[in-house]
Structure 1
Amino acid sequence: MAESEPLIGIDLGTTNSIVATVQDGQPVVIKNRTGVALTPSVVAVSKNAKRLVGSIAKRQAITNPQETVYAAKRLIGRKFSSHEVQDALRSLPYAVVAGQHDDLRIRMGGRDLSVPEISAMILQELKADAEAHFGRPVTKAVVTVPAYFNDAQRQATKDAGRIAGLEVLRIINEPTAAALAYGFGRTVNGRVAVLDLGGGTFDVSVLEISQGVFDVVATGGDTYLGGEDWDNRIIEWLVFGFAKEHGLDLRKDRMALQRLKDAAEKAKVELSSVRESHVNLPFICTPPGGGAALHLQATLTRDKLEDLTSDLAERVVGITTEVLGEAGVRPSELKEVILVGGMTRMPKIVEAVRGYFRREPCKGVHPEEVVALGAAIQAHALAGQDSELLLLDVTPQSLGVAIAGGYVRRVIPKNTTVPTSATEVFATSKDFQRTVKIMVLQGEHEMAQANELLGEFALTGLREAPRGQVEIEVTFDINAEGIVSVSAKDRGTGLRQSITVTASSGLTEEELKRIIEEQREYLLAARLSEELKTKRVELDSLARDVVDALTRARLLPGGGGLAADAMPRAEQALEHARRVRDAEDVAALTRACELLSGCLTQLRGSAQSGARR
C-alpha cells in the first residue's frame, strides 16, 4: 500500500454516517461538501429519478415517503421472514419485499434494491466527501459495525463497500473503535466499558487497555435496540391519541406516517434539554368520507416519554449486566465508562448508567463522532503508521455444529479472542454411515434451528462401522478478519473435507458484479450530468455578458472602434450557443463557452477604449 494513499474510517450509522481520517498524527472528522460534519443516513429517489443522499434526502421525506429510505442498517443482512423485519414492516413508509433467498429488498425508484445497494449509496457519498477533502481518489477504508452483528450482517456491510468502490480493509466493532479513539494519545491502563446506543443498535464492550494494546474481553448487544425504538414509541402514543379522538389510524397514510416520524424524532431530541415538547401537525389527514382536514396537536413531557420507554432503558441495563458478567468484572472495577451514540444524550439513559455504575460516565469523547475517529485510527495502524497500537478483538457470537436431536455443540464460544482455532471430535450417529453433513452455526441457542446457518458441507466416503465407532474431527479457524474456515477429518482414514464460510448477504457474486457495473455507469452518468449542468450555467452567464457588451458597443460612436467583423462574430457565437445549449455534449458546450469568452474580451476592450476617447 502506497504510504501517501488516503485512508479513511467510516461509521455507517443508522441515523448519521460519518467519515474520518488521521492527519498530522491526529484523527479528524472530514466535513462533507456542504461544510457539515454529520450526514443523515437517508437515501431517496426524487420525482425526476435523481438519487438523493443525506440532508437533501431527509428534507423531502415528508412529500416523498415511499421513495425515501432510512434506518437501512437495521435491516442489513437480515432474512425477510425474521421477526425483526416483520415487526418493522408495520411502521416503515417505504416498501420492503422478499428476495430470492429470503433476503429483503427495498422498493425504490421502480426497482427492488438490496440493502447493501442502499448502504452503498451512503458510502459513495462519504467517499466523495473524502475525495473532495484529499483532492484525489480514495479506495480503502475501515468500516465499523455493531459488535453483535453476525457474519451475514458483516458480509453485507463488506458487499456495500465493494459496490461503493471501496476496499474494506477491516470490519471492526463500533464500541471497540470508540475505545481506540478514547485511548489514542493517552496513557490509559485498565479496563473500560463502552456503551454504544445509537439510532438502531445497542452494544456493550469491555476492553483491557495497556500500553497501546486494546484487548476486548467481552462484547454483546442487541442489533434491534436504538433511537428508532424510542421514536416508534412516540409515534404509537401520537397515533393512539389521534385514533381515540377521531377514530382514524394514521399509520395507514404513508405521508402522515412520515410526518409523525419526523415529529417524534424532533420531540425526542427536544426532551433531552427541556421538560416538555409540543407536537403540532396541521392538516395531518382528511376523513375518508370527506369534510374538513384534521389536525394533530399534543404535548409530550419528558416524564411521559420516560414512562413510555422504561422497558427500553431496562434492556440497556440488562444487556450491560450480562456483558459485565461474561467479562468477569464488577462495575466498581472499571477505570472508565464511555457513552457513545446520539441516544446517550438522553437524560434517562445517563441516569440509568450513572445509577448502575455508581459513577459519572466519561464525557471526554464526542458521542456521535468517536466511532468514525476510532475507525480512522485503525486504518492508520493497518497502514503501518502506528506500530505501537494493537487491537485484539473477539468473536461476538458462539460458533458450533448441529448434532443429533437438533441440538448445537459449541466449538468456539463467544468472546473468544481472534484469530483462533479449536477442534472437537464427533462420532457417527447411525450404523454403517458413509456420509456426514457438517452444518456450521452461529448463535447462543441450544437448538440448531434457532441459530444462524453460516454454511454446510458433507464428508463422504466414511468407512462402514456401527454408530459411534467412526470419529470425525472438526476444526474451526477464525482469522483476524473474522472469516471462518471449517474442516472435517475421518480420524481413521485421514479423509478430509473443508469449507470457508463466506456468509451470504443475499447477493450472488454475479449479482454483485452486475450491481457494481450499474453503480459505475450511474456515477459516470451523474458526473456527466453535473458537468453538463455546470457548463450550461457558464454558457448562459457568458451569453448574457456578450449581449450586454454588444448593446454597449452599439451605443458608442462607430461601434467604439470595433473591427468590422467583431459584432457579426459575436452574434454568430450567440447563435451557436443557442443551438448547442441543450446538447448532451460537454466538448460542444466547452467550445461554445470559449467562442463567447473570446468575443466578450474583444467587446469589453473596445468599450473601455471608447470610454477613454
Structure 2
Amino acid sequence: MAKAVGIDLGTTNSVISVMEGGRPEVIVNAEGARTTPSVVAYKGDERLVGQIARRQAALNPGATLFEVKRFIGRRWDEVREEANRSPFKVKEGPGGSVRIEVNGQDLAPEQVSAEVLRKMVADASAKLGTSIKDVVITVPAYFDNSQREATRQAGEIAGLNVLRVINEPTAAALAYGLERKGNETILVFDLGGGTFDVTILELGDGVFEVKSTSGDTHLGGADFDQRVVDWLAGEFQKEHNFDLRKDKQALQRLIEASEKAKIDLSSASETTISLPFITFDPETRTPMHLERTLTRAKFEELTADLLRRVREPVQRALDDAKLTASGIDEVILVGGSTRIPAVKRIVQDIIGKTPNESVNPDEAVALGAAVQAGIIQGDSSLGDIVLVDVTPLTMGVEVKGGMIAPMITRNTTVPAKKTEIYTTAENNQPGVEINVLQGERPMASDNKSLGRFKLEGIPPMPAGRPQIEVTFDIDANGILNVSAREKTSGKEASIRIENTTTLDRGDVDRMVQEAEQNAAADKQRREKVEKRNNLDSLRVQALGQIEENASAPQDAKDKLKAAADEAEEAVRSDDDAQIAGAQKRLEEELRTFMTANQAGQEGGQPQAGAQGQPKADDDVIDADFKPAE
C-alpha cells in the first residue's frame, strides 16, 4: 500500500511528514529544508514555489503570493484589511468570494495553495521513491465550514486524495502524546503565521479527546510583522514625507525585514533594521536609505493590543471545558510565533505553568497529521489510538425575526448529526429559503452565512402546517452537509446551494485540469533547463580539458574549442534543436580529444599537469558524459 502523508499547510511555512518505523518523520524538500515557504511566484509561464519564490519577491512583488491561507474560504468583506496591506492585488470575486489578480488572471486562493501542496508532495514522492496521493491536511481549529471545504478543494486541485482534514492543535497533541501512557489534560496554544487557536484535550489510554477549542482567525505572526511595517513606514514618512507602503517593492522589503526583526528579537534584546536604497527621492532621484534600531521593549509596545487578544480565547476554552487553569497539566506551544518572549510570558501568566517546549513548534502539526494518516491506513505500529474532535463554532439556521436557531453548538463532538422540524410563516407558501449560519451571535446578520438552500414544491397548506425536516450532518473533517424535506406530504425536494465562497464542482474540475496541464508544462520547462545546464556543464568540462592538457595535439584542441564555442551559443539561444546538435558535436569532439591526448601520452609526450607531471586520474575524466543516442 502506498504511504499516506500528513501536511501542515501553513500561512508562512508548510511541512510534510510520514510514518516511518512507527514514528512520524519530517520529509525534507528538494532544497534539503524541513520547511517549505508557502509562497508562489508567477513569472511569465513559469511558477516558482517555496524558497526560490520567496527569494525573488522583492523584485516581483505584484506576482509573488504569500500568506494566501488568510484568504482561503473567506468572503471579501471579511478580509479587506489583510487585502489592503498586500503588495499583490486582492479583490472581490464571484458571490463575494476572494480572488487574487496576477498578470491579468484571477486566481482563487485554493489554486495558489494547491501549488504549494503539489510541490511538497512531488518532493516527498521523490524522497520516498513512490508516488503519493493520499494525504491528511491540517487546518486551524477555528476554521469555519467554508475554510475547511476550501482547504479540501485545494488538495483536490493538487491531484490529491484528502483522507481527512484535521485541526492543527489536535494534530500537535497527537505528536506530543504518541508515546505518553499516563492521563493528562493538556492545553495546546497555537499561534501561527495567520491564525490563533487554543484547544484543550484529555489524553489517556490511547484516547485523544478534545474538550473545547477557541481562537481567532484574524490573529497571527503576520499581524505582529505588520505592526513593525507600519512603525518603520511611519518613521520614514516623518523624516522624508514619503509613504513606503505605496511602493510595492519597498513594501515587500519592509515586510521581509519586519519578519526578520521579529525573529531576531526572540533571542536578542534589540536588532538593527537596515534597508539601503529602499526608494528614491521623487524630486532629486537620489537614493534614500532606512535604518532603525528596534528594541524588544518597543516591539512589545507596538504589539500590545495583539498580545492582549490572545488572553480571551484561552479563558473561553477553559470555560467551555469547565476547567480552571489549575486543571491543566501541560501547555504545549505550537506555531513559530510562540517563540515571541512576551507570548510565552502571557501563557505562563494565564495558566501558571512554564510551557512545555518538548515538541518543535514548526513541525509538531505535520508530525501529528502523519500519525492521523497512519491511523486511517491502519498502521499496526500505532496500536489503538482514538481521536475524538469537536466542531469549533455553532451552526444553525435563520428563523423568523432574523434570529439564529442553533442546530449544533460549538464544541460538539464530531462527527455529529442533528435533525430539527421547522414550518412556514405564511399561508400556501410554495417554498422556503434556508439560510445556514455559523457563529455565536444571536442575530443571523452577525454570523457568517455558509449558504442559502431552497426547498421548493411544498403543497399549498396553511401557515404552520408543513413539517420541514432540516438535518445538519458534520463529518469527521468538520465539514457540514445539510438536507431538507417536507414531512407532511412525504415529498422530498432537492436542495440547491447558492452564493457560497467555496468553488463549485465545475470550477474544481477545471482547476484540476489546468493543474495537470501546468504540471506537464512545468516538466517540459524543467527538462529544457536541465538539457541547457547539462550542455553548459559539458562545455566547462571541455574547456578544462584543453587547459589541463596543453601538450595535446593542437588540431584536437582547436576542434574541441570550436565545439565548446558552439555550445555556448546554443545555451544562449535556448533552441532545443540547436542545443541537441551542439551537445552531440561536443560529446564527439571531447571523445576525439581524449583519444588523441591518450595516443600522445603513449607516444611519449608528457601530459601537462601539476609541474608538468602526468595526472593519476586522467583515465576517468570522461566518466560524466556518454555517447549521443
TM-score relative to the length of structure 1 = 0.90
The aligned counterpart of 1:607 is 597
The aligned counterpart of 1:14 is 11
Q: Measure how far apart 1:400 and its partner are.
A: 1.0
The aligned counterpart of 1:564 is none
Aligned length: 600
The aligned counterpart of 2:418 is 422
Q: Measure how far apart 1:200 and its partner are.
A: 0.5
Moved more, 124-133 or 598-607: 598-607
The aligned counterpart of 2:71 is 75
Q: Which amino acid in 2 is paired with 1:14?
A: T
Deviations 1:93-114 (A, max 9, x none): 1111222222121122342211
Q: 2:505 aligns with which of 504, 509, 522?
A: 509
Q: Is the 2:532–2:574 Cα contact (8 Å) retained in structure 1?
A: no
Change (3 A) 1:432 1:294: same
For 2:456 and 2:506, locate their aligned partners in 1 and report how far apart those are by CA, in whole Å: 29
Gaps of 5+ in 2: 604-629
For 2:438 and 2:386, locate their aligned partners in 1 and report how far apart those are by CA, in whole Å: 27
Output aligned runs, 1:468-507, within 5 Å. Answer: 468-497=464-493, 499=495, 504-507=500-503
Q: Is the 1:163–1:516 Cα contact (8 Å) retained in structure 2?
A: yes
Q: Measure how far apart 1:208 and its partner are.
A: 1.6
The aligned counterpart of 1:66 is 62
Q: 2:449 aligns with which of 448, 453, 468?
A: 453
Q: Measure how far apart 1:167 and its partner are.
A: 1.5
Q: 1:402 aligns with which of 398, 405, 418?
A: 398
Q: Measure how far apart 1:501 and its partner are.
A: 7.1
Q: Is the 1:151–1:454 Cα contact (8 Å) retained in structure 2?
A: yes
Q: 2:90 aligns with which of 92, 96, 104?
A: 96
Change (3 A) 1:549 1:202: closer
Q: Which amino acid in 2 is paired with 1:609?
A: A
Q: Measure how far apart 1:574 and its partner are.
A: 8.1
Q: Is the 2:388–2:413 Cα contact (8 Å) retained in structure 1?
A: yes
Matched, 1:141 2:174: no
Q: Is the 2:96–2:501 Cα contact (8 Å) retained in structure 1?
A: no
Deviations 1:28-77 (A, max 9, x none): 1111112111222222224x553222222222222222222111111111
Q: Measure how far apart 1:535 and its partner are.
A: 2.1
Deviations 1:339-382 (A, max 9, x none): 10011111100000001100111111000110011111111111
Q: Is the 1:155–1:504 Cα contact (8 Å) retained in structure 2?
A: no
Q: In structure 2, the residue corresponding to 1:284 is in which secondary structure?
A: strand
The aligned counterpart of 1:294 is 288
Q: 2:361 aligns with which of 367, 392, 407?
A: 367
Q: Measure how far apart 1:589 and its partner are.
A: 5.8
The aligned counterpart of 1:262 is 256
Q: 1:439 aligns with which of 435, 438, 448?
A: 435
Change (3 A) 1:493 1:522: closer
Q: Is the 1:484–1:502 Cα contact (8 Å) retained in structure 2?
A: no
For 2:146 and 2:162, locate their aligned partners in 1 and report how far apart those are by CA, in whole Å: 16
Change (3 A) 1:527 1:492: closer
For 1:573 and 1:29, locate their aligned partners in 2 and report how far apart those are by CA, in whole Å: 46
Output aligned runs, 1:184-199, within 5 Å. Answer: 184-199=178-193
Q: Is the 2:137–2:162 Cα contact (8 Å) retained in structure 1?
A: yes
The aligned counterpart of 1:56 is 52
Q: 2:27 aligns with which of 25, 30, 33?
A: 30
For 1:456 and 1:504, locate their aligned partners in 2 and report how far apart those are by CA, in whole Å: 8
Q: Measure how far apart 1:407 and its partner are.
A: 1.0
Moved more, 67-76 or 515-524: 515-524
Output aligned runs, 1:546-561, within 5 Å. Answer: none
Q: Which amino acid in 1 is paired with 2:131?
A: P
For 1:530 and 1:251, locate their aligned partners in 2 and report how far apart those are by CA, in whole Å: 36
Matched, 1:119 2:104: no
Q: Is the 1:151–1:503 Cα contact (8 Å) retained in structure 2?
A: no
Matched, 1:537 2:533: yes
Deviations 1:302-359 (A, max 9, x none): 1121122122111111111011111111111122111100111111000000011001
Output aligned runs, 1:272-287, within 5 Å. Answer: 272-287=266-281
Q: Measure how far apart 1:221 and its partner are.
A: 0.9
Gaps of 5+ in 1: 561-566
Q: In structure 2, the residue corresponding to 1:492 is in which secondary structure?
A: coil
Q: Is the 1:545–1:600 Cα contact (8 Å) retained in structure 2?
A: no
Change (3 A) 1:122 1:364: same
Q: Measure how far apart 1:406 and its partner are.
A: 1.1
Q: In structure 1, the residue corresponding to 2:54 is in which secondary structure?
A: helix
Q: Which amino acid in 2 is paired with 1:610?
A: G
Q: Measure how far apart 1:151 and its partner are.
A: 1.5
For 1:134 and 1:528, locate their aligned partners in 2 and report how far apart those are by CA, in whole Å: 23
Q: Which amino acid in 2 is paired with 1:413?
A: T
For 1:246 and 1:178, locate their aligned partners in 2 and report how far apart those are by CA, in whole Å: 47
Output aligned runs, 1:227-242, within 5 Å. Answer: 227-242=221-236
C-alpha root-mean-square deviation of aligned residues, in Å? 3.0
For 1:250 and 1:578, locate their aligned partners in 2 and report how far apart those are by CA, in whole Å: 42
Q: Which amino acid in 1 is paired with 2:97?
A: D
Q: Is the 1:426–1:472 Cα contact (8 Å) retained in structure 2?
A: yes
Change (3 A) 1:283 1:389: same
Q: Which amino acid in 2 is paired with 1:77?
A: G
Identity of aligned residues (%): 43
Change (3 A) 1:553 1:306: closer
Moved more, 257-266 or 200-209: 257-266
Q: In structure 2, the residue corresponding to 1:62 is in which secondary structure?
A: helix
For 2:549 and 2:301, locate their aligned partners in 1 and report how far apart those are by CA, in whole Å: 76
Q: Measure how far apart 1:403 and its partner are.
A: 0.5
Change (3 A) 1:459 1:523: closer
For 1:572 and 1:217, locate their aligned partners in 2 and report how far apart those are by CA, in whole Å: 75
Change (3 A) 1:336 1:503: farther
Q: Is the 1:212–1:389 Cα contact (8 Å) retained in structure 2?
A: yes
Q: Measure how far apart 1:177 and its partner are.
A: 0.6
Q: Is the 2:101–2:107 Cα contact (8 Å) retained in structure 1?
A: yes
Deviations 1:66-93 (A, max 9, x none): 22211111111111233xx211233211
For 2:107 and 2:281, locate their aligned partners in 1 and report how far apart those are by CA, in whole Å: 34
For 1:269 and 1:424, locate their aligned partners in 2 and report how far apart those are by CA, in whole Å: 51
Q: Measure how far apart 1:524 and its partner are.
A: 1.5
Matched, 1:169 2:166: no
Q: In structure 2, the residue corresponding to 1:265 is in which secondary structure?
A: helix
For 1:6 and 1:337, locate their aligned partners in 2 and report how far apart those are by CA, in whole Å: 32
The aligned counterpart of 2:316 is 322
Q: Is the 1:485–1:499 Cα contact (8 Å) retained in structure 2?
A: no
Q: Measure how far apart 1:27 and its partner are.
A: 0.8
Q: Is the 1:421–1:476 Cα contact (8 Å) retained in structure 2?
A: yes
Q: Is the 1:483–1:502 Cα contact (8 Å) retained in structure 2?
A: no
The aligned counterpart of 1:208 is 202
Q: Is the 1:101–1:506 Cα contact (8 Å) retained in structure 2?
A: no
The aligned counterpart of 2:244 is 250
Q: Is the 1:484–1:501 Cα contact (8 Å) retained in structure 2?
A: no
Q: Measure how far apart 1:585 and its partner are.
A: 4.8
Matched, 1:376 2:373: no
For 1:284 and 1:553, locate their aligned partners in 2 and report how far apart those are by CA, in whole Å: 50
Q: Measure how far apart 1:604 and its partner are.
A: 2.1
Q: Which amino acid in 1 is paired with 2:600?
A: G
Q: In structure 2, the residue corresponding to 1:408 is in which secondary structure?
A: strand
Q: Is the 1:483–1:500 Cα contact (8 Å) retained in structure 2?
A: no
Q: Which amino acid in 2 is paired with 1:63?
A: L
Q: Measure how far apart 1:528 and its partner are.
A: 1.5
Q: Is the 1:458–1:497 Cα contact (8 Å) retained in structure 2?
A: no
